[in-house]
Structure 1
Amino acid sequence: MNKRSIELKVVRPRRLYEQIADHVRELVLNGTFPPGSALPPERELAEIIGVSRPSIREALIALEVMGLVESRQGGGNYVRTDAGILRMIPLAGGRDLGPGPIEQFEARRVIELACVKLAAQRATEEDVRNLEDCLDRMRDLIERNASPADEHRYFHTMLASISQNQIFASTVAELWRVRSGELWDTLRQKVDNAESWRLGIEFRAHLINAIRDRDSAAAVAVMSNHFNRIGELYFGLLPEPDEANREV
Structure 2
Amino acid sequence: MPFQKVTSEKLAQAVVRQIETMVLHGILRPGDRLPPERELSERLGVSRPSLREAVAELAARGLLESRAGAGVYVADVLGNAFSPALTRLFATHDDALLDYIAFRRDIEGLAAARAARHGSDTDLALVHALMAKMEAAHGKRDPSEEAALDAAFHMAIVEASHNVIMLHMMRSMMDLLREGVFFNRNAMFRQRTTRDQLLDQHRAIDEALRARDPDAARRAVEAHLDFVRARVADQRAAEEHEATARLRLEQEAAR
TM-score normalised by L of structure 2? 0.51
Answer yes or no: is the 8 Å Cα contact 1:207–1:223 preserved in 2: yes
The aligned counterpart of 2:141 is: 145
Query: What whole-Å deviation, never above 9, does each CA across 1:22-59 have from its counterpart, x for those lacking one?
Result: xxxxxxxxxxxxxxxxxxxxxxxxxxxxxxxxxxxxxx
Q: Quote the Cα distance in structure 1 between the aligned partners of 2:117 and 2:185.
A: 34
**Equivalent residues, number:** 143
The 5 Å alignment of 1:1-40 reads none
Q: Quote the Cα distance in structure 2 between the aligned partners of 1:223 and 1:212.
A: 14
- Give the counterpart of 2:88 among 85, 97, 102: 97
1:220 aligns with 2:218: yes
Give the counterpart letter for 2:191 in structure 1: N
The aligned counterpart of 1:168 is: 166
The aligned counterpart of 1:178 is: 176
Q: Quote the Cα distance in structure 2 between the aligned partners of 1:205 and 1:153.
A: 14
User: What secondary structure does 1:97 align onto?
Assistant: helix
Higher helix fraction (1 or 2): 2
Q: CA deviation at 1:183?
A: 4.4
Choose 178-187 or 108-117, whichever is displaced more: 178-187
User: What secondary structure does 2:178 align onto?
Assistant: coil
Q: Which runs of 5+ in 1 are unaligned?
A: 1-93, 237-248
Q: Say if 1:150 and 1:186 are closer, same or farther in 2 by CA, change over 3 A.
A: closer
Q: Quote the Cα distance in structure 2 between the aligned partners of 1:207 and 1:187.
A: 19
TM-score normalised by L of structure 1? 0.52
- Give the counterpart of 1:231 among 229, 237, 249: 229
Q: CA deviation at 1:146?
A: 2.6
Q: Quote the Cα distance in structure 1 between the aligned partners of 2:173 and 2:111.
A: 14
User: What secondary structure does 2:142 align onto?
Assistant: coil
Q: Quote the Cα distance in structure 1 between the aligned partners of 2:139 and 2:189.
A: 18
Give the counterpart letter for 1:113 in structure 2: G
Q: Quote the Cα distance in structure 2 between the aligned partners of 1:190 and 1:150.
A: 12
Query: What whole-Å deviation, never above 9, does each CA across 1:128-147 have from its counterpart, x for those lacking one?
Result: 22112111111111212232
Larger Rg: 2
Q: CA deviation at 1:156?
A: 0.6
Answer yes or no: is the 8 Å Cα contact 1:120–1:212 preserved in 2: yes
Q: Which runs of 5+ in 2 are unaligned?
A: 1-84, 91-95, 235-255
The 5 Å alignment of 1:191-206 reads 192-206=190-204
